[in-house]
């Protein structure tokens, strides 16, 4: 199947789901995913080599989408995983890299797919009420960090769904706390509902500053928070429930209006906290129907429902790279979605063997940012 | 009576006698220790049994005497002055205070230095692990000779910052420490500036199979079995675990055939030494997945065998070898120079070098140039002799002060 045909098919799926339809059912997903596999092994040599090492090829394709060989997310550092000439890429996203010095690169042939896939999820899970809204963003500004997939995604939503006054308050590792406070004050004074997006670490930095200054805000009714990104490489980690309690306390935004997004540079679709679980201690992440997640063990075998394992995503929006990505994230299946666990890379080592991290003088810390 | 009053020969005999009791797999203390080690480390029971068999099987009077005589000239030099040809008389007097900090996750690694430090008549403190193996062995030593029990103290520190640990390290004449770079740095910082610090850091090991070992299937099979055993034993987490194997391309047994033999060996060895856990740890899984992808990119094969064994055939040489548990990278090479180039390019800190072909001068030269301090036949890499040096360091020399006397 050609790229254009695959893209058209996915766009139709997204449009159907956005309009309240099913999007794609199990057979449709399976057929689409396997078509993508064939498309990719024909055009994406590194993926074809990896698939061959796993025993799959065009001649011997996976029997179902569950069998599609998933590249480890680190493969985006080791190879150019693209089905096209990357000089023609409309988008290029970089991971920050945590375990080795190199960063991973995800080339996207058509921005249209990413725009449609990411916006549809954002609309459904963050902006379901379609309220007129102002974006205050504690994420990388896409104007200056053009290779940040998070910045791009939020920027796209801000432009298409915002009130035209979106602003960014994260520069490198620094949060412009004063600028953010002023912007929030202005939105409140104008009676404007806000959507505050940010990485967990940026939120903590802002909260620390506001708490020190004993400064509180009462965001306009309907305001919300989209949190993402964890605590990549940070020495200070705050438990998520503590973070949400502090956000609620400082901004008067109820925890039910705080939505965690789970995405990564290597995927063009995202998962979000299911609305029904936002009142629960355990938040379940759900995805649009063109992104499906398997929970697998260390050898790549699916685990029983409810058991903990690694998350493997099959994302139909990854048309121009690799449809299946094996992540380093852990979680378990529950209530039609998955529960994401914090990464545990501190398992006590055994023996006296050297490991690569030691040799490189680097240490793995957390999942890559975007 | 104090340990100083004992003759070294009596100490050697007592240590050997205690060790011989531990060679019995049904010795109650060993049974308890085995259970505790399995619990603590997660290694399978056959692996723990193998480790204890190796440890106590080699801790013999003959090995102790040979090592001491080899390093000091005679066992009696530990008791008083002895004459030497063309050199001043010498007395190798044990240093007063020895501290041994065992690593988090090895099996009985503190016991050989403990035995040699006692032979030197030093007072010894060992930081033990929760399985209590060293403490239980210390009890056996005390039963053989109460003086040994009195000279030996087993402690459990919560960390190197533990006030008691700091106090102990500060008064130690010798500190033997096992562990990673951070632990070793922290321990070294607490040792007296003029004290001896004997670090055993994290290392890895490599092997080499020459065309002379590939003249027929049987020899090649034996090499494959040996290599896989060296790679899988202790779940591939020891410094003597084989992670890199060079195989010469021009043997009568082809690389492809050798790979097939290695695959068979993987299955057989997995039965003998099963993995400690059914599930890989998350960091290990992540590293293995990454290694598999990289290996696939140059046409190299990836063989995932039983019990989590992983063989990477001809992975990219510009990449680091996969230094992850139960994984072995096999690099076809044209000769020893190519292998040395690889080792130097990656600055791999080796401790062991396994080969059955050390009779060939260029391979022996490679093994020496590699930086390894132990050269062994394939399959025996993880069974070092207690009569030999350890990690390039003498067994008893670190614990003694040479006092020379002339006239």
| Mean pLDDT of all residues in A313-328 | 96
Question: Do both A255 and A295 map to the same domain?
Answer: no
Alpha carbon of B105: minimum distance to chain A alpha carbons (Å): 4
Q: How many CB atoms are closer than 10 A to CB B407?
A: 4
For residues B293 and A72, the answer to whether their CB atoms sit within 8 Å is: yes
**Is B304's CB within 8 Å of A299's CB?**
yes
**Is B204's CB within 8 Å of A356's CB?**
no
Report, at the CATH architecture level, how domain B3-202+386-405 is classified: 3-Layer(aba) Sandwich (3.40)
Please tell me what DSSP assigns to residue B330. E
Question: Do both A122 and A73 map to the same domain?
Answer: no
Question: Do both A179 and A135 map to the same domain?
Answer: yes
Alpha carbon of B325: minimum distance to chain A alpha carbons (Å): 9
Is 80 exceeded by the pLDDT of residue B138? yes
Nearest-angstrom CA–CA distance, B29 and B361: 47
A170 in a structural domain: yes
Select the residue of A78, A344, A355 nearest B293 (Cβ to Cβ). Answer: A78
| Mean pLDDT of all residues in B47-51 | 91
The better pLDDT of the pair B41, B340 is held by B340
The better pLDDT of the pair B85, B106 is held by B85
**Is A359's CB within 8 Å of B237's CB?**
no
Q: What total of structural domains would you count in chain A?
A: 2
Nearest to B18 by CA among B70, B54, B59: B59
Is 50 exceeded by the pLDDT of residue A235? no
Query: What are the backbone angles phi and psi of residue B253, rounded to the nearest 5°?
Result: -85, 120
| Mean pLDDT of all residues in A355-370 | 53
- Residue B233 is predicted with a pLDDT of 86
Question: Do both A143 and A220 map to the same domain?
Answer: yes
Tokens of A11: 């766009």
The better pLDDT of the pair B318, A33 is held by A33
- Residue A346 is predicted with a pLDDT of 47
- Residue B400 is predicted with a pLDDT of 98
| Mean pLDDT of all residues in B84-94 | 96
| Mean pLDDT of all residues in A91-106 | 76
Per residue in B325-335, pLDDT tens?
Answer: 888 999 999 99
Per residue in B169-199, pLDDT tens?
Answer: 999 999 999 988 888 999 999 999 999 999 9
Question: Which 3 state secondary structure label does DSSP give B247?
Answer: strand
Select the residue of B103, B302, B348 nearest A53 (Cβ to Cβ). Answer: B302
Which residues in A lie closer than 8 A to residue B306 (C-beta atoms)? none
Question: Do both A22 and A140 map to the same domain?
Answer: no
Q: From the centroid of its chain, how far is CA B139?
A: 24
A285 in a structural domain: no
Question: Do both A140 and A206 map to the same domain?
Answer: yes
Which residues in A lie closer than 8 A to residue B304 (C-beta atoms)? 299
For residues B115 and B56, the answer to whether their CB atoms sit within 8 Å is: no
Question: Do both A80 and A121 map to the same domain?
Answer: no
Is 90 exceeded by the pLDDT of residue A103? no
Alpha carbon of B108: minimum distance to chain A alpha carbons (Å): 11
Chosen CATH of B204-376 out of 3.40.309.10, 3.90.1300.10, 3.40.640.10, 3.40.50.9100: 3.40.309.10
Is 80 exceeded by the pLDDT of residue B378? yes
**Is A353's CB within 8 Å of B239's CB?**
yes
Range of weakest confidence among A9-13, A63-67, A231-235, B298-302: A231-235
Is 70 exceeded by the pLDDT of residue A127? yes
- Residue B105 is predicted with a pLDDT of 65
Alpha carbon of B330: minimum distance to chain A alpha carbons (Å): 16
- Residue B276 is predicted with a pLDDT of 72
Per residue in A50-69, pLDDT tens?
Answer: 999 899 999 999 999 999 99
**Is B103's CB within 8 Å of A352's CB?**
yes
Alpha carbon of A70: minimum distance to chain B alpha carbons (Å): 10
**Is B202's CB within 8 Å of A354's CB?**
yes
- B289 to each of A299, B185, B282, B322, how far by Cα in Å? 8, 31, 11, 10
Residue percentage of chain B with pLDDT more than 70: 98
The better pLDDT of the pair A280, A97 is held by A280
A270 in a structural domain: no
**Is A356's CB within 8 Å of B348's CB?**
no
Select the residue of A79, A297, A348 nearest B279 (Cβ to Cβ). Answer: A297
**Is A328's CB within 8 Å of B296's CB?**
no
Question: Do both A206 and A143 map to the same domain?
Answer: yes
Is 70 exceeded by the pLDDT of residue B217? yes
pTM higher than 0.80: no
Nearest to B353 by CA among B263, B259, B243: B243
Q: Which residues span the domain enclosing A136?
A: 113-262
For residues A118 and A153, the answer to whether their CB atoms sit within 8 Å is: yes
The CATH number linked to A156 is: 3.40.50
Is 50 exceeded by the pLDDT of residue B152? yes
Nearest CA in chain A to B349: A354
- Residue A355 is predicted with a pLDDT of 72
Residue found under tokens 């009568």 = B252
CATH 3.40.309.10 boundaries in chain B: 204-376
- Residue A362 is predicted with a pLDDT of 38
**Is A355's CB within 8 Å of B295's CB?**
no
- Residue A368 is predicted with a pLDDT of 37
| Mean pLDDT of all residues in A217-242 | 79
Question: Do both A74 and A189 map to the same domain?
Answer: no
- Residue A129 is predicted with a pLDDT of 85
- Residue A230 is predicted with a pLDDT of 62
| Mean pLDDT of all residues in A191-197 | 96
For residues B106 and B200, the answer to whether their CB atoms sit within 8 Å is: no
Is 70 exceeded by the pLDDT of residue B45? yes
Nearest to B301 by CA among B365, B349, B258: B258
CATH 3.40.605.10 boundaries in chain B: 3-202+386-405
A239 interface with B at CB cutoff 8 Å: no
Q: Which of B296, B350, B384 to mutate to test the interface with A (most CBs of A within 10 A)?
A: B296
For residues A283 and A339, the answer to whether their CB atoms sit within 8 Å is: yes
Is 80 exceeded by the pLDDT of residue A343? no
Nearest-angstrom CA–CA distance, A239 and A296: 25
The better pLDDT of the pair B130, B239 is held by B239
Q: From the centroid of its chain, how far is CA B407?
A: 42
What percentage of chain A's residues is helix, strand, coil (to nearest 5)?
35, 20, 45
**Mean pLDDT for all residues in chain A:** 90
Select the residue of A54, A297, A364 nearest B283 (Cβ to Cβ). Answer: A364
Characterize the bridge pairing of strands B97-101 and B174-178: parallel
**Is A351's CB within 8 Å of B105's CB?**
yes
Is 60 exceeded by the pLDDT of residue A99? no
Characterize the bridge pairing of strands B123-127 and B97-101: parallel
- A347 to each of A364, B3, B101, B260, how far by Cα in Å? 12, 41, 21, 34
């Amino acid at each position: 199947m050609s790229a254009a045909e695959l893209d058209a098919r996915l766009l139709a799926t997204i449009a159907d789901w956005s309009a309240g339809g099913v999007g794609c059912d199990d057979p449709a997903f399976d057929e689409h995913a396997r078509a993508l596999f064939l498309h990719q092994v024909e055009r994406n040599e590194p993926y074809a080599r990896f698939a061959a090492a796993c025993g799959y090829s065009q001649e011997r394709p996976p029997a179902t989408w569950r069998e599609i060989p998933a590249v480890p997310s680190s493969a985006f550092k080791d190879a150019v995983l693209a089905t096209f000439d990357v000089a023609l890429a409309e988008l290029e996203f970089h991971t920050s890299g945590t375990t080795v010095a190199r960063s991973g690169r995800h080339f996207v042939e058509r921005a249209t797919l990413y725009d449609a896939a990411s916006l549809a999820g954002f609309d459904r899970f963050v902006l379901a009420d379609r309220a007129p809204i102002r974006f205050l963003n504690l994420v990388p500004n896409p104007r200056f960090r053009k290779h940040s997939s998070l910045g791009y995604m939020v920027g796209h939503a801000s432009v298409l769904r915002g009130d035209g006054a979106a602003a960014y308050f994260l520069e490198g590792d620094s949060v412009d706390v004063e600028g953010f406070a002023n912007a929030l004050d202005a939105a409140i004074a104008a009676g404007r509902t806000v959507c505050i997006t940010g990485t967990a670490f940026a939120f903590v930095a802002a909260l620390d500053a506001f708490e020190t200054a004993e400064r509180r805000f009462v965001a306009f009714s309907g305001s919300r928070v989209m949190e993402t990104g964890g605590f990549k490489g940070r020495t200070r980690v705050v438990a998520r429930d503590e973070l949400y309690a502090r956000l609620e306390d400082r901004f008067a935004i109820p925890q039910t209006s705080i939505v965690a997004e789970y995405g990564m540079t290597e995927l063009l679709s995202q998962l979000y906290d299911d609305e029904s679980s936002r009142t629960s201690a355990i938040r379940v992440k759900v995805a649009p129907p063109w992104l499906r997640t398997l929970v697998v063990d260390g050898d790549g075998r699916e685990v029983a429902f409810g058991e903990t394992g690694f998350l493997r995503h099959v994302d139909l929006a990854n048309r121009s790279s690799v449809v299946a990505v094996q992540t380093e994230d852990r979680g378990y299946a529950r209530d039609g979605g998955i529960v994401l666990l914090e990464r545990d890379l501190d398992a006590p080592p055994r023996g006296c063997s050297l490991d690569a991290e030691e040799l490189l003088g680097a240490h793995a810390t957390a999942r890559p940012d975007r | 009576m104090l340990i100083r009053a004992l003759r070294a020969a009596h100490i050697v005999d007592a240590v050997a006698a205690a060790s011989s009791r531990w060679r019995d797999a049904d010795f109650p203390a060993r049974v308890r220790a085995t259970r505790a080690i399995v619990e603590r480390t997660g290694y399978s029971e056959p692996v723990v049994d193998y480790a204890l068999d190796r440890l106590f099987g080699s801790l013999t009077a003959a090995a102790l005497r040979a090592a001491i005589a080899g390093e000091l000239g005679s066992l009696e030099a530990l008791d008083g002055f002895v004459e030497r040809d063309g050199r001043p008389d010498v007395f190798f007097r044990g240093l007063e205070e020895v501290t041994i900090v065992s690593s988090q996750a090895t099996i009985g690694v503190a016991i050989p230095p403990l035995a040699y430090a006692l032979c030197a008549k030093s007072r010894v403190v060992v930081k033990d692990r929760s399985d209590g193996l060293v403490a239980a062995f210390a009890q056996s030593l005390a039963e053989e000779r109460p003086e040994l029990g009195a000279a030996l103290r087993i402690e459990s520190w919560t960390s190197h910052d533990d006030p008691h640990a700091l106090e102990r390290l500060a008064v130690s004449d010798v500190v033997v420490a096992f562990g990673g770079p951070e632990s070793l740095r922290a321990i070294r910082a607490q040792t007296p500036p003029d004290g001896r610090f004997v670090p055993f850091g994290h290392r890895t090991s490599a092997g080499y199979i020459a065309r002379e070992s590939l003249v027929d299937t049987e020899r090649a099979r034996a090499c494959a079995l040996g290599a896989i055993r060296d790679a899988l034993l202790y779940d591939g987490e020891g410094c003597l675990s084989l992670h890199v194997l060079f195989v010469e391309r021009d043997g009568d047994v082809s690389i492809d055939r050798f790979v097939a033999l290695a695959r068979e060996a993987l299955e057989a060895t997995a039965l003998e030494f099963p993995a400690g856990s059914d599930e890989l740890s998350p960091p290990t899984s992540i590293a293995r997945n990454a290694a598999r992808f990289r290996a696939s990119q140059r046409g190299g094969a990836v063989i995932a065998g039983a019990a989590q064994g992983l063989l990477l055939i001809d992975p990219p040489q510009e990449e680091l070898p996969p230094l992850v548990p139960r994984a072995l990278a096999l690099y076809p090479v044209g000769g020893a120079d190519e292998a040395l180039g690889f080792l130097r390019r990656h600055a791999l800190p080796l401790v062991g070098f396994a080969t059955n072909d050390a009779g060939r001068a260029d391979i022996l030269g490679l093994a020496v140039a590699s930086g390894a301090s132990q050269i062994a036949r394939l399959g025996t890499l993880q069974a070092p002799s207690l009569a030999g040096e350890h990690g390039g360091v003498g067994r008893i020399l670190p614990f003694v002060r040479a006092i020379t006397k002339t006239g």
